A and B are shown apart, each in its own frame.
Chain A
Amino acid sequence: MMGEPEVIVELKGITKRFPGIVANDSIDLKLRKGEIHALLGENGAGKSTLMSILFGLYQPDEGEIHIRGKKAVIDGPGKAISLGIGMVHQHFKLVQPFTVAENIMLGAEPVKGVSLDYRTAHDKVRQISDQYGLKVDPKAKIEDITVGMQQRVEILKTLYRGADILIFDEPTAVLTVQEIRELMQILRNLTAEGKSIILITHKLAEIMEVSDTVTVIRRGKVVDTLRTAETNEEELAEKMVGRSVSFVPLKKERAPGEVVLSVEGLTVGAGKEKKLLDNINLTIREGEIVGLAGVDGNGQHELIEVLTGIRKATSGRVLLNGQDVTNRQTRALMDAGISHIPEDRHKHGLVLDFTVSENIVLGSYRDAAFGKGIFLDSKAVEKYAEKLVGEYDVRTPSVQNKARSLSGGNQQKAIIARELERGPRLLIAMQPTRGLDVGAISFVHERLLQAKAEGKAILLISFELDELFNLSDKLVVIFDGQIMGEANPAETDGEKLGLMMAGKTMHAEGRG
């Protein structure tokens, strides 16, 4: 092997415990100068915790950090920054009403006398922006620029502080396909200028494309560190999950029945307003899973909000079993047979400080079975909850425990139990496996397929292409509030879908 570049960051035996869980268990990691080192692991494997330790947000319980060969105690982000470490967070840390330059200089402001020196700040931002090809306007307000641009501001923040060790936490999660391509180029530009990069991700394709080294973490422990050139996606997937993973589709063909949901010309936003949804047409039949593909922020949330009565449509119609239900209240839509597994189970799916049983009847508590008239019969509620908890294998000491005390997977099972047992005609599931481990993911997939087999119509919205391909009978692509086209998952591939998700219309399905 050739002489390797110097080790710039070395983590030795890092252990971090949280109540009830060892997030990092004696982790060793070496980052070499000028390389892109991918950190691969499932949700909850401990990647983010490890990087939060490197960035000084948490303190390790055991272990040492060496930066450029010297032992360092990183007791806060300020210390990390002074050591040349910068972090681009998954959820951007940007002050919305501030300008780009204000966000970038915050905490390291150039001054003239006692005043902020805006001119110097603007010049410096422009100069770094040009150097790495970031094309950022220092005077724009954060609230006015795109998500991709905001991410570049985050990158600039680290470069402005002279960081040469950059941590990227799931940077592609919120980007469009083009933006991802541009980001990959930016990453290469950065290493070309001598920066060293740690890339946290669970997307194998990105790792294969851009990284030099991969460290795989599972349940808080390092499984292996490999050279990217000497491995492949299958091997990485296996190491990440801990057993061999089959990418074989689970679904069974079933002849779709009657049309359940029919969306006609649905539009949100009128006149000069930006149209959040623009003339959406969509049908879903009994026993059919329609997968809605698209990059986050292209109208998926708005579509669900209209279908669940949270948001009002400006024009167009929604028909459920032939009945016009456009702009009905949430409660009326639920009564008409719509169930919804929301993307954010903590914010929208559960009342975390309610008991499991109280959560199980959220949406059905008005049934006569749970109390006559105005009264609520908590015995009946608990009995029902116990039945569902058993059937859906929700692991909880009792139905009187708070939903907060359950693991993410069990919380999701409780939501799925609730929504499926309401006996819906249409089930809307957005990102139903987000943040779950492999076991819970396959449980969710099985349940969705079972619901399909029972003849329910299902609208599945996901940002994971694999999930869409494995479950959907039909794929529909949304971009910028418009339906770009449909595809049969058996006859299309990720590349073509990606083009549509980036706004390229595909007319002929059979093309290519």
Chain B
Amino acid sequence: METIRILSELANITLVFSTALIFAALGGIFSERSGVINIGLEGLMVAGAFAAAIGTAYVEAAGAYGLAPWVGVIAAMLFGLVFSLLHAVATVTFKANQAIIGVVINILALAVTVYLVKVLYDGAGKTDTLNAVFSKVPIPGLSQIPFFGEALFNAYPTTYIAYILVPLSAYVLYKTPFGLRLRSVGEHPGASDTVGINVKKYRYIGVLISGVLAGLGGATITLTTTDDFSHNTISGQGFIALAAVIFGRWHPYGAAAAAIFFGFAQAIRNFATLFDWSRDIPTEFLYMLPYVLTLLVLAGAAGKAVKGPAAAGEPYDPGKR
């Protein structure tokens, strides 16, 4: 029974770590499917994590305790949107190199948020610890199921949102006209243009969705894991999300599965000391795992090398038809 308890707890913690990755990875998929490579997910998550902390802190101070984390979430999505707008203006309108702008977003988001923290908290390197963060909400009935109840249905509200967003994203991308157009713009913008689809509009939408979702991912970390914001709140989660996008082959279900797997790799670090077989694994190797696996997948260790949307990374230039 002890083993089952540990495993269900491990599954539960895995989901806590995975949720933020899932949001950011879904965001990455929308952006890359529209043809814009987004290595700025890290920065967008930083922006979200920061805004969530500030938004929550203000509403918490105003006394609206239950509302506070939700305001934080909305603030996070908006701040993520602002930074992704910067990305879209540069890469879509001004045809800047997408990889470079991704780097810029990462540098700017971290610098701006830490700067603002220092301005708002009198030079301190981190925000005050939040009280009005999310707590786990057991779903009546479902949470009583042995193992699965504890593993899946005693979770933070954000995890439940992720349960909805993954199939919803898949539906939007593969079953709606919007999704068909978004994907066409990422595969062959020239084809989209000639049937009257506004390539720039769809790329803007793709990038902005990535800002909103990665912002939500950042908020998830602030409001379920760290309870405050500092320069190392995100520290690489955005890049793991990017890895999940590729590992999941640019598909919502695939990326969610990859995010859960990478979340598991993080969760297991807390449990590694509990088992004989895992005690001697250097923690650095566990940290490395998502990146090594992604490299292996890209290199086609499992057969065929993986390729993303055909036009991803290319600014669309109608003159070059």
Chain A residues within CB distance 8 Å of chain B = 55, 57, 76-79, 81-82, 87, 89, 91, 93-98, 102-103, 105-109, 111, 114-116, 157, 161
Q: Once bound together, how far apart are the Cα atoms of A114 and B198, in whole Å?
A: 20
Q: Can you report 15 A-B residue pairs in the complex whose CB atoms are below 8 A from each other?
A: A57-B194, A78-B197, A78-B198, A82-B196, A87-B194, A96-B310, A97-B187, A98-B183, A98-B187, A105-B180, A106-B184, A106-B191, A107-B196, A111-B176, A115-B176
Residues of B contacting A102 in the complex (Cβ-Cβ under 8 angstroms): 180
- Indicate if B141 sits at the interface (CB-CB under 8 A): no
List chain A residues, Cβ under 8 A from B183.
Answer: 95, 98
Chain B residues with CB under 8 Å of A77's CB are 193-196
A311 to B188, CA, bound (A): 27
The answer to whether A89 touches B194 (Cβ under 8 A) is yes
A96, B184: Cα distance in complex, Å: 9
Taking CB as reference atom, which chain A residue is nearest B318?
A: A57
> Most chain-B Cβ atoms within 10 A of its Cβ — which of A105, A106, A161?
A106
A116 contacts B175, C-beta separation under 8 Å: yes
- Chain B residue contacts of A103, Cβ below 8 A: 191
When distances are taken between beta carbons in the complex, the residues of chain B under 8 Å from A115 are 175-176
Contact residues in A for B198 (Cβ distance below 8 Å):
78
* A359–B193 CA distance with the chains assembled, in angstroms: 35
Contact of B321 with A by CB under 8 A:
yes
Q: Report yes or no: A96 in contact with B188, Cβ–Cβ below 8 A.
A: yes
* Docked CA distance A134–B177 (Å): 26
Q: Which 5 A-B pairs have the closest CB atoms?
A: A78-B196, A107-B195, A93-B191, A109-B177, A95-B188
Question: A54–B88 Cα gap in the complex (Å)?
Answer: 31
Which residues B178-194 have CB closer than 8 A to chain A? 180-181, 183-184, 187-188, 190-194
In this complex, the member of B180, B183, B190, B310 whose beta carbon has the largest number of chain A beta carbons within 10 angstroms is B180
Docked-complex contact B196 and A76, CB < 8 angstroms: yes
Interface set, chain B 61-120, CB cutoff 8 A to A: none
Nearest A residue to B311, CB-CB: A95
B residues adjacent to A (C-beta < 8 A): 175-177, 180-181, 183-184, 187-188, 190-198, 310, 318, 321
Q: How far is the CB of B18 from chain A (nearest CB, A)?
A: 28
B4 to A: closest C-beta gap in Å = 41
Query: Would B195 and A157 count as touching, CB distance under 8 A?
Result: yes
Q: Is the CB of B195 within 8 A of A108?
A: yes
B194 touches A93 (CB 8 A): yes
In the complex formed, the residue of B with least CB distance to A157 is: B195
A27 to chain B, nearest CB (A): 20
Nearest CB on A from B247, distance (A): 19
Q: Which of B176, B177, B187 contacts A96 (CB 8 A)?
A: B187
Select which of B175, B180, B188 is within 8 A of A93 by beta carbon. B188
Which chain A positions have C-beta within 8 A of B197?
78, 106-107
In the bound assembly, the distance between CA atoms of A103 and B183 in angstroms comes to: 11
Residues of A within 8 A of B318 (CB): 57
Contact B180 A109 (CB under 8 A): yes
Q: Which residues of A contact B191 (CB under 8 A)?
A: 93-95, 103, 106
- Whether B190 pairs with A93 at a CB distance below 8 angstroms is yes
Known: A94-B188, A106-B191. A111 touches B177 (CB 8 A): yes
| B188: chain A residues within 8 A (beta carbon) | 93-96
Distance between Cα atoms of A167 and B184 in the complex (Å): 23
Bound CA span A291–B268, Å: 67
Residues of the B chain whose Cβ atoms lie less than 8 Å from the Cβ of A105: 180
Given contacts A116-B175, A116-B176, contact A106 B187 (CB under 8 A): no
Bound Cα distance A98, B176 (Å): 14
B307 to chain A, nearest CB (A): 10
Q: Of all chain A residues, which has the CB nearest B177?
A: A109
Report whether A98 and B195 are in contact in the complex, using a CB–CB cutoff of 8 Å: no
User: Complex formed: what's the CA distance from A79 to B195 in Å?
Assistant: 10
> Are the C-beta atoms of A95 and B184 separated by less than 8 Å?
yes
CB distance from B34 to the nearest CB of A (A): 13
Q: How far is the CB of A268 from chain B (nearest CB, A)?
A: 21
Question: How far is A221 from B197 in the complex, measured between Cα atoms in Å?
Answer: 32
Q: How far is the CA of A103 from the CA of B191 in the complex (A)?
A: 9
Given contacts A107-B181, A109-B177, A111-B177, 10 further A-B contacts (CB under 8 A): A77-B194, A93-B190, A94-B188, A96-B310, A98-B183, A98-B184, A107-B196, A107-B197, A115-B176, A161-B195
Give Cα A89 to B191, complex, Å.
10
Interchain nearest-CB distance for A235 vs B (Å): 33
Chain B residue numbers with a CB within 8 Å of A94 are: 188, 191
Residue of A nearest to B187 (CB): A95
> Closest CB-CB distance, B200 to chain A, in whole Å?
12
Decide if A114 touches B190 in the complex (CB within 8 Å).
no
- CB of B8 to closest CB in A, whole Å: 37
Query: B180–A57 contact, CB under 8 A?
Result: no
Asked whether, in the complex, the Cβ of B192 is within 8 Å of the Cβ of A107, the reply is yes
In the docked arrangement, what's the CA distance between A116 and B172, Å? Answer: 10
Give Cα A299 to B110, complex, Å: 54
Complex alpha-carbon distance, A111 and B180, angstroms: 12
Please name all residues of chain A whose beta carbon is closer than 8 Å to the beta carbon of B181 when the two chains form the complex. Answer: 106-107
Q: Could you tell me the distance in whole angstroms from the C-beta of A139 to the nearest C-beta in chain B?
A: 15
Q: Shortest distance in angstroms between A173's beta carbon and chain B's nearest beta carbon?
A: 16
In the assembly, what is the distance between CA of A105 and CA of B197, in Å? 12
Q: How far is the CA of A78 from the CA of B191 in the complex (A)?
A: 12
Task: Report which residue of A78, A95, A116 has the largest number of chain B beta carbons within 10 angstroms of its beta carbon.
Answer: A95
